[in-house]
Amino acid sequence: MKHENFLKENNARHFWHPMAHPSEMLENPPMIISKAENVEVQNIDGHVMLDAVGGLWNVNLGYSCEPIKNAIIEQINLMPYCNTFRGITNDKAIELSYKLKEWFSSDGMEKVFFTQGGSDSIDTAMRLVRQYWKVRGKIDKIKFIALSKGYHGTHYGGASLCGDPRFRRNYEPGVPGIFHIPTPYTYRNPFDEENPEKLSKKCIQSLEALIASQGSDTIAAFVMEPVIGSAGVIVPHENFMKQVRNICDKNDILLIADEVICAFGRTGEWTGSRLWGVKPDVMTIAKALTGGYFPMGATLLSGEISEAIEKNDNTLGLLGHGYTNSGNPVGAAAALAALEETNKLNLASNAKARGAELILGLNKLKNKHEIIGDVRGKGLMAAVEIVEDPISKKPAGKDTVAKIFQAICDEGVLLRASGNNFIISPSLIINKDHVNKITTAMDKGFSII
């Protein structure tokens, strides 16, 4: 490691950080993490914290998963790279495609297109869905509908699907033909509706109205995260995704489930779609696919979609799409090891059990601290939304968030502060003591206000 002073002096000087204003990073340089072990990270000053962010919703197996590390080392020694463009493939990518087909078979997925991450997976899904409709001769079906609070990455397609202007405004114009409907977010919504079932119905009515006004013959797909992650862990009513599925079926619109966060057990079920009892037409995955040990993702397609493209007998079926690292053998080796560990440790059931304890603990904090406006979660994805006062629901300011964040760090827990939300998404291998540590540190953090 370079000398500590060198790192501190050069922190954020030459490196622009994602999702931050460069001037803010220069003024307030980010925390330098230099070591990670099991479910903990250590900063450059030696302060150890339980990583309640789980990397970025991806380090599901913690930082010391020997089988993944060994698989990567072995594969690098054997063959560090192999492309998979027409005419060439590699053993690990073939094996992984087989395993993923098995893993997602109860979601109805049959084919895999490998990508380099979540944003790639979403843009791949959008491109393949448009291609599918062209192959089917329905050339006007090009538009997409998404949720106002959805997050779908930062490529042009995915960013255009994002409802939050923070991800679009500075880069517009985005991809045309993208529309949003209200999110079933009970704490804040345009209908002032707190009842989850009634709110879900109103959002569904908005979807129906939008389809009617655009014309279903122009809409390619509806895109949603089964549990909305980055916007602050918004858990839709249990009927919402099923109703979306019904509307899509009635109108010949495809359903893309963005499972970049949810897949591989985070919600307490193996996929977010399974959590709600829905079979989508297309799924996007990334993050926990390799446990965060290698950047890799995939877009998965149902039998109906893939068959139409495979059976096409003109150039419309040609996949003019792909990445240098589609099916990278090191990534595939990492993913194979991660899948095996995920299955062996039954991470979905641990996420469900620990998630229930976490929500219970967070709700106790809500009863104690007036600053907490809302607590939401499913499995091991949760958020605590803080407000200036519970009646006006005015979001807590930046300084308050920063003070609480620092106090929780000092107590040995690293959270993610996003706007006025604290997001909790630890590794899925955490135990009951880790959950207690998170809620105890948060209790102390909120007590400083």
Ligand X SMILES: Cc1ncc(COP(=O)(O)O)c(C=O)c1O
What is the nearest approach in angstroms of ligand X to the Cβ of residue 334?
15
What is the nearest approach in angstroms of ligand X to the Cβ of residue 118?
2
Query: How far is Cα 224 from Cα 227, in angstroms, rounded to an integer?
Result: 8
In the bound state with ligand X, the residue whose beta carbon lies nearer, of 225 and 269, is 225
Query: How far is Cα 254 from Cα 222, in angstroms, rounded to an integer?
Result: 6
The residue at minimum Cβ distance from ligand X is 118
In the bound state with ligand X, the residue whose beta carbon lies nearer, of 63 and 151, is 151
What is the nearest approach in angstroms of ligand X to the Cβ of residue 259?
8
Closest CA to 158 of 265, 245, 260: 260
Give the footprint of ligand X on this chain (CB under 6 A).
117-119, 122, 151-153, 225, 229-230, 258, 260-261, 286
- Sign of the four-CA dihedral 209, 214, 215, 218: negative
In the bound state with ligand X, the residue whose beta carbon lies nearer, of 48 and 417, is 417
What is the nearest approach in angstroms of ligand X to the Cβ of residue 154?
6
Query: How far is Cα 405 from Cα 422, in angstroms, rounded to an integer?
Result: 8
In the bound state with ligand X, the residue whose beta carbon lies nearer, of 44 and 56, is 56
User: With left for phi above 0 and alpha for psi between -120 and 50, is residue 232 left, alpha or beta?
Assistant: left
What is the nearest approach in angstroms of ligand X to the Cβ of residue 115?
9
Query: How far is Cα 384 from Cα 374, in angstroms, rounded to an integer?
Result: 6
In the bound state with ligand X, the residue whose beta carbon lies nearer, of 75 and 119, is 119
In the bound state with ligand X, the residue whose beta carbon lies nearer, of 237 and 266, is 266
Angle, helix 66-78 to helix 329-344, in steps of 10 degrees? 160
Beta carbons within 8 Å of 366's beta carbon, 6+ residues apart: 372, 374, 375, 384
In the bound state with ligand X, the residue whose beta carbon lies nearer, of 236 and 361, is 236
In the bound state with ligand X, the residue whose beta carbon lies nearer, of 157 and 182, is 157
Query: How far is Cα 118 from Cα 107, in angstroms, rounded to an integer?
Result: 19
109: which strand partners? 302
Hey, how many other C-beta atoms are within 10 angstroms of the C-beta on 344? Answer: 9
Helix, strand, or coil (residue 382): strand
What is the nearest approach in angstroms of ligand X to the Cβ of residue 244?
16
What is the nearest approach in angstroms of ligand X to the Cβ of residue 225?
5
What is the nearest approach in angstroms of ligand X to the Cβ of residue 96?
17
| Full DSSP string of 200-260 | HHHHHHHHHHHHHHH-GGGEEEEEE-SSB-TTT-B---TTHHHHHHHHHHHHT-EEEEE-T
Six token digits for residue 438: 């998170």
